[in-house]
Amino acid sequence: MRSIMVLNAKGGSGKSTVATNLASYYATQGNKVILVDLDPQASSLDWLKARPSGRSSISGINGALGQYRVPRNADYVIYDTPAAVRGAELNALLRRAQSIIIPVLPSPIDMRAATPFVQKVLDNNRVARKEARVALIANRCRENYNIYHQLDSYLRKVRKAPFISVLRETQNYVRAAERGLGVFELPPYAVRKDLDQWDPIIRWLKSKRSQPAA
């Protein structure tokens, strides 16, 4: 069973968008997927409620209610985490993850907030021992903005955590979310650029670089 966690202490960084699209991808590949929503806002569970019948099945768990169990026969477990997580709560979350994706938005406030948070994640004992692996992505980016280039430069300087992709700001994610879908389930001609941006994320998650050291 693979466990993938989307994590950032800053609210509004697009964690639910990344988590639901990951769940959509793995489900369309024929996997048994569990989406665990740890955020009291329950955005990922709301997405699941909108998912039409007949689409690849994804099971949801409301982890914000407290104790929960993930079925052992799951192929992939995707965790959507709340904002403002730190200290003991952060360490408890990281114990559940094999692969951690941290999305960062192209704004000075988000970059400044991400710096100490990413360092705390990297300093976690499990991460330091390579029992969990971390990668960074830039999210909701407009390439013509100067701040995009600042974010690109910032992410590439973070030590011990690869910067693996940039996801653009596009209405494709909004259209998909409204229908309980991921961009992988929209017509390919409409989302070709988005799928290209997801490709390095999927490749990283498939690689040994994203998995616990043996």
Residue 60 CA to chain centroid, in angstroms? 16
Q: Where are the domains of the chain?
A: 2-208
User: Residue 11: what pLDDT?
Assistant: 84
The tens-digit pLDDT sequence of the chain (214 residues) is 999 999 998 888 899 999 999 999 999 999 999 999 999 999 999 999 999 999 999 999 999 998 899 999 999 999 999 998 889 999 999 999 999 999 998 888 888 888 889 999 999 999 999 999 999 998 988 766 666 677 777 777 776 788 899 999 999 999 999 999 999 999 999 999 999 999 999 999 999 999 998 7
User: Residue 143: what pLDDT?
Assistant: 67
User: Residue 81: what pLDDT?
Assistant: 97
User: Residue 14: what pLDDT?
Assistant: 93
CA atoms in the 13 A half-sphere facing the CB of 111: 16
> d(Cα 31, Cα 46) in Å, to the nearest integer?
21
User: Residue 147: what pLDDT?
Assistant: 64
From the number of C-beta atoms within 10 Å of its C-beta (0-12, 13-18, 19+), residue 171 rates as exposed
User: Residue 144: what pLDDT?
Assistant: 62
Residue 157 in tokens? 């300087």
> d(Cα 55, Cα 185) in Å, to the nearest integer?
9
Please give the single-letter amino acid code of residue 5. M
Orientation angle between helical segments 108-123 and 146-157, nearest 10 degrees: 10
Domain 2-208: top CATH class: alpha beta
Bridge partners (DSSP) of residue 5 are: 79, 100
